[in-house]
Structure 1
Amino acid sequence: MKKLTLALLVVAALNSGIIFCQKTTNNGTSGTMQISLSAEPSSKESELLPGLKNPPKVGTKAEFTYVPKNGLENVKDVKGLVYIYANYTWKLDDIEITQKGAVYACSYQIPKDCAFLAFKFYANTSEGIISDTNQDQGYIFTTVDSENQKIPGSNVAWGTFRNSNFNTDFGQYFREFSASDEASEFWVKKEIQEHPENFPRFVETYFQIAKIRKPEQFDTIAHVLARQFLNTYTDLTEDQYAKMYNLYAFDLKDEKRADSLREVLLKRFPKGRTAQLKSFQIASQVTDHSAKVKQFEAFLKKYPITELEGGQPFFYRTIYNFLLEDYFNNEEYDKLKTLLPQLNFANLIEGYHFTISKAYHYKAVPFPVLNELSQAIIAELLAKLDDASYVQGIYLSPQQALNNAQEQLNRKLRVQMRISAELNKPSEVIKYGDYLSSEAKYTDSELNEIYIKALLQEHKEVTQQLEVAAANQALTPELKELLKETYTVKKGTDAGFDSYLNSFKNKGLKDRIQSDLIDEESPELIFEVQKGKEVRIPSEDKIIVLDFWANWCAPCKKSFPAMQQLVENYQNDKTVAFYFINTSETSKDYKEVTASYFKKYHLDTMTVLFDKKTENAQRNTKTFSKFASLFNSSGIPRKVIIKDGKIRFTSEGYSGNPDELKDEMNAVIDMLKSEN
């Protein structure tokens, strides 16, 4: 009987006033949309991500190569994400990604229940986040099992991920592309046909599609189908019942049916989310503060966080914040510390802000008391750093959530260091300073002074810490004098201190440059002068700096004043030569325009050469195109530094900071010189 009822429900869903999408065939007749997800797909290597088998198999480790493009070609520290659809639930995960020269080696362990994968590559830059989703076409795949059978859920994922009506859930993965609503309907209905037993797990998606496709008929369609659905499936989970409740309460505005379902939820799941929410709402309406405290305390006893299944509902956060502040303000510190183990990392961060940080700022609580409470909360924070409480939905990946958590922890550690310093507890200052992440250490001049003074109080050597702080340009005047004292003691004189101090200015930059150095064979450097005579630049026994630019490129010309200063600084150095290569021009008179521009702005110390044109070419890119091919980018300005016929360094673009550009070029040149 159940199978018959289920069959009737599926028929109802498939014929509920929303037709299968159609397309016109070559002969003008209508036919069913062709399905690209075959039942027995053949495996081949992906052209987009070399090494990745397509379709990918669940339970295996996918290993593939990513070739940066779409703005990521010369960006450092590219990262990778993957949206997955597993067990009819969307998740966001990280992929392992390691730079190997100009490409990235990637790997990802595909979960056994994963039906769909969508990879995304991105990097944080000074201009914001740059991401690559294959020029809006996506790096998307449906998966198969060991028998080459599709995984349940693949149709739903394929039909919804590519539709702009759902795309806001996926961080705007697609900017302009969108599958049609008809296509989404087709794939969702196909999932119903193939896996009717799983219909409860994606029924809300069906209703979303129905509302989009037939808004004028939605009320009728939804009422009929929802009634049959609830009659057919009598063993739904609380979450599935809750989704049907939301349908009646918010989409259909059917209060009677919604109230009926709410009663079902309360009866079947007496300690579930609906019951919790009801109790929370009752407690929240209490106006007397003391009575509300008791209500919230009773709530936590009735619904202990340790018995909670799934993610933490929003109202637990509200309750914890209320109680923490109450205990703190009323000096019930023992009750506050007893509550701490219940809180997740995100709760603790928020609680710390509204209690410890606030009290420290206003000096409202004696420092010894504040110190004890702060350390108690930080101990919990350190223990729960990786509890993923910042992973909410599919907005942050596990690694992104951990990075966010570490950043939040750093802020609280800085407060604790200041509290410990106020109490003259140097060992505590050092202890909590050492918990700072490597990215956060020695970047705050005030904190550096607190930390280094604590080291001195504990009779520890501080020269290294002073030098790191100097490299980060984070020395207070007092620390600068201290560094000078240590230098003078070591050298016997303060002569040369300024040069010594400046040597640290670009230490961080030099570390980055060292990791960015490459060793690629350079194309021949064949250009021409203004009158057309060919010039070949020998690259042996010299460091050659090429600056590829064009008259139409504003950032190129904005970088010229800084580059001119570099040219003048090295004009007596016969081991270094600068050439400014005009390329990629679109106008016919680009040589005359170039000469006029350099004369107008007195750039006569800069040697200008012109790229040549290949036969029948519109632009002068003969040599530059070879470099562009190596770097997978034709963007300019492009700096290329060559030594002994090998490309050793390259950079694209201009940040607008002339000092940064000069520091970078000087650091590369000095580093290459030191190799001799």
Structure 2
Amino acid sequence: MNNIQVARPIKLWQPILDSSILNMKINMKFLKPLCALLLLTAMVNVAQAQNKSTADTTIKYLNRLVASKDSSDKQLLRSKLAELSKGNTEKSVLMAANYYYQSGDLKRSEQLYKDVIVRFPLGVEARREASKDFYEMKTAAEAEAAYKAWIKKFPPEKYENKDVSDRLDYDYVRSIIANKYAAEKNVAKANAYAKMLEVDFWKGNAYSGLTTAFHKNGDLANAEIYAKMAMDNAFSYLDGKKGNENWAKFSASGYPGLASTYANILYDRKKYNEALEYSEMAYKKSTSLNPKLNYRYAQILMGLKKDQEAYDKLEEVVKAGKADAAMAADFKKLYVKVKGNDVGFDEYALAIRKSYLEALSKKLTKDMIKEPAAGFTLTDLDGKQVSLVDYKDKIVILDFWATWCGPCKASFPAMQMAVDKYKNDEDVKFLFIHTWEREANPTEDASAFIKNMKYSFEVLMDIKDAQTKKNKVVSSYNVVGIPAKFIIDGSGNIRFKLTGFDGSNEAAVDEISMMIDMVKTK
């Protein structure tokens, strides 16, 4: 879905990877979301370094065995994976770990990932594991000292450097240190580490991180420099200028957002004419409606007294039902400027609202389904057991989330609005299921977050099973990304499914409210 943010339990840079790598397991247990890149790098390095003909043949063979339902093939798969597990190379062991994961033996897979670090203490997996704490280090000096020790133990020249991704893990750590120095306002050091970056297609991401760090500091001059560097890097990959490989397409795909960020900084620096140029570029390159992009574009146009054009851009957001309070207020101001007065505004706003709701109703009518909802019994934050069957005859909204999930947390103000709207409706129940935990004490982690944010949510804990290493309930609902919401009717049937969050609180509440109302009447 366009413009919808989704967090996944296994964070992959999918555009970079070929089909064989896409199937590889990435263990996120100990890392912050951004650290997924280090894991990806290890996988990419291992897979790409294999002899192509041998690797392709083995992968095709294993893929066939994994997909087969024949018992003899399952036996062959177990035999082949046992053989790979005992191999003399890190590549073979990691391949076995990957296919154990695909075949559902998560316990064996996870054990192999641990074993490979012991068996190959200077391998790519050991290198990745040794770098996992850089993000958590409090000071840039601490991170820099750790980096020097890490790179001494794992010098780049000791590893293969045949493909574009072979230096990604080093670049990732360098970018962390650069960001920490930027946060500490040490521009010279931040610049020095930024200059060490080697992997061109990823530089846009690294520069974007520095943009954020400098912008947060109030250093708009350096934020502008790095925002332009990030945007220019992505631009250099547009339209196949540097090839059409997946990693090149990945870099090019960031251009609209990076151009918009650059325009935002130019706007903050009151460089309206320059900001307009890049905001227009971002707008034209965007493949679907982006409310925040449209709004900033409109604000720049307002700053340049181009009220009609600003009105047109905001009207697109209003008509889509995605305008927040600030956007709606500016839209009314623009209406008065363009029309000369506010006569007819209320009627026009009602007509837009009616049209939007009619379109939403038609969409949801098509989206409505009827599938049995998986039953479950989970424990809430106070240790009380709660079952889905407890809410027979009620409409239940399940919201799968995690404390590490940015889109989940971004959606919570809207969900609180929805909870408040239906708090006196005894036929509607919201259950927020925390899943895919990464913390050692997920219940404490979830409880602290909910209390700190003052959300009045009923939270249930879908904690990973010790034997299977799976979060049972989220798996039973076949969730692939969070936030994921399910609207369940009183008979225990799923009637609607939602994944992700597009950033509009008002639109989210409208959508959930209409779903609930439709389920009530069906």
Mark the structure with the bigger radius of gyration: 1
**Greater RCO (CA < 8 Å, at least 6 residues apart):** 2
The TM-score normalised by the length of structure 1 is 0.34
The TM-score normalised by the length of structure 2 is 0.42
